[in-house]
Structure 1
Amino acid sequence: MLTAAQRATMIPSSPPSQARLLLAPVRASRAILDGGWWPRSWDPVAELPGLVLALSERYGRIRNVILTNGVWDSRFRQIAVGTDVVRVGWFASLDTALLIATNVSGDQLDLLVVPPDSTATAAEQAMTTAADPTNTMRAPDMLTAGTAPPSPTTGTDPYAVWDNEGGNTATRRPHHRPTNVQSRQVE
């Protein structure tokens, strides 16, 4: 059950930051991802407005964003972005490496989420791969394949879970944060 604070519409206290986002030049039917996003933190109130504005510019108004509830700092159902209110869904089954956005036309956008503590080189490489229209690699596989440091749920615990990108079984990763990952923030 959600608390009253989680049911309230979140209103960011500062202007949105420019999203570190790389989108595919065209939406390809074979591609699994539409691009990559590298948030500066796991704070959705600070990070989502800039992303929503950038996606809205390219694809039209965004009405929904779906995230995993495993790594983000807070949970809420709605967030104010400009003059719009965007619904936010939280799912434990969604991999931390994936964000799903839906525009008002019903188009679904699947984005790789690069962990905030990734190095600039690793993040740029991962986002470039995610934005490649010929890429057929799934978001979690992309991060574990060496294009970026592991997400907070990367590991080797082999529990089968239902994959959100096509209905196949996937491997559930135990929740932990890597301690040996070097990071630097690039603005």
Structure 2
Amino acid sequence: MTATLAPMLSARLSLTPKTTLAGLLDGAWWPLSRDLTAELPALVDALDERYGRITRVMVNPTHWPAVPHEVPATGHTVHVGWFTEQDPDKMILLSYTVGRCDLLVIPPETEPAAAARLMTAAAIPGGVLTAGALMSDETATGLRMRDARSSKDAWETDGGSAPPPLRHPVVGARMIMQPGKPRR
């Protein structure tokens, strides 16, 4: 009897291009779930070619229901630590060869369009925004986009009529005269 292993899913990952511009983040990772034991092996394998063997991972436990001490990866074990002082939207990965890789962690339930924006923003060479700032900006962008959609929906549902004009207060008792019009 032979055991068949389930194929490992590839990591949804966006990394900064190799450049001399150092930024606060090295990219973004969008896991499929909040299960580190299930998600880390694919991430570690995806980073192996560029960063070498990842040996340690540090997370803030805020977004992870369980933080295991160790996670088996291809050919080795990854040690996992948690720190409440660390940005909850960031993961730090350490390797023997390259050193450190800081990734924005995009929540699994994030809509694809928002995740794409975040993955692009986190992979900008020389980026100066922290993981928390990127997530806050995306929340604000998402709210603006929802407001814009609701305005369009209102336009469609009320027959395409324009909103009523804004009332402007009269400044003093003066009226602006148009050239060539007599004053009454």
Structure 2-normalised TM-score? Answer: 0.69
Distance 1:104 1:59, change over 3 A: same
Q: Does 1:134 align with 2:119?
A: no
In the alignment, what sits opposite 1:117?
109
In the alignment, what sits opposite 1:77?
69
Say how many residue pairs are matched.
138
In the alignment, what sits opposite 1:55?
47
Distance 2:85 2:19 in 1: 25
Structure with the largest fraction of strand: 1
In the alignment, what sits opposite 2:165?
none
- Three-state SS of the structure 1 residue aligned to 2:79 is strand
Structure with the largest fraction of helix: 2
Structure 1-normalised TM-score? Answer: 0.68
- Three-state SS of the structure 1 residue aligned to 2:64 is coil
Note the C-alpha offset of 1:148: 8.3
Tell me which structure has the larger Cα radius of gyration.
Answer: 2
Letter in 1 for 2:89: A
In the alignment, what sits opposite 2:147?
none
Query: Does the 8 Å contact 1:22/1:128 carry over to 2?
Result: yes
Distance 1:30 1:54, change over 3 A: same
In the alignment, what sits opposite 1:8?
none
In the alignment, what sits opposite 2:93?
101
Distance 1:91 1:14 in 2: 32
User: 5+ residue gaps in structure 2?
Assistant: 143-184
User: 5+ residue gaps in structure 1?
Assistant: 1-12, 151-187
Note the C-alpha offset of 1:14: 4.9
Query: Does the 8 Å contact 2:37/2:68 carry over to 1?
Result: no
- Identity value in percent: 38
The CA RMSD over aligned residues, in Å, is: 2.1
- Three-state SS of the structure 1 residue aligned to 2:120 is helix
Deviations 1:138-163 (A, max 9, x none): 1100000126899xxxxxxxxxxxxx
Query: Does the 8 Å contact 2:36/2:68 carry over to 1?
Result: no
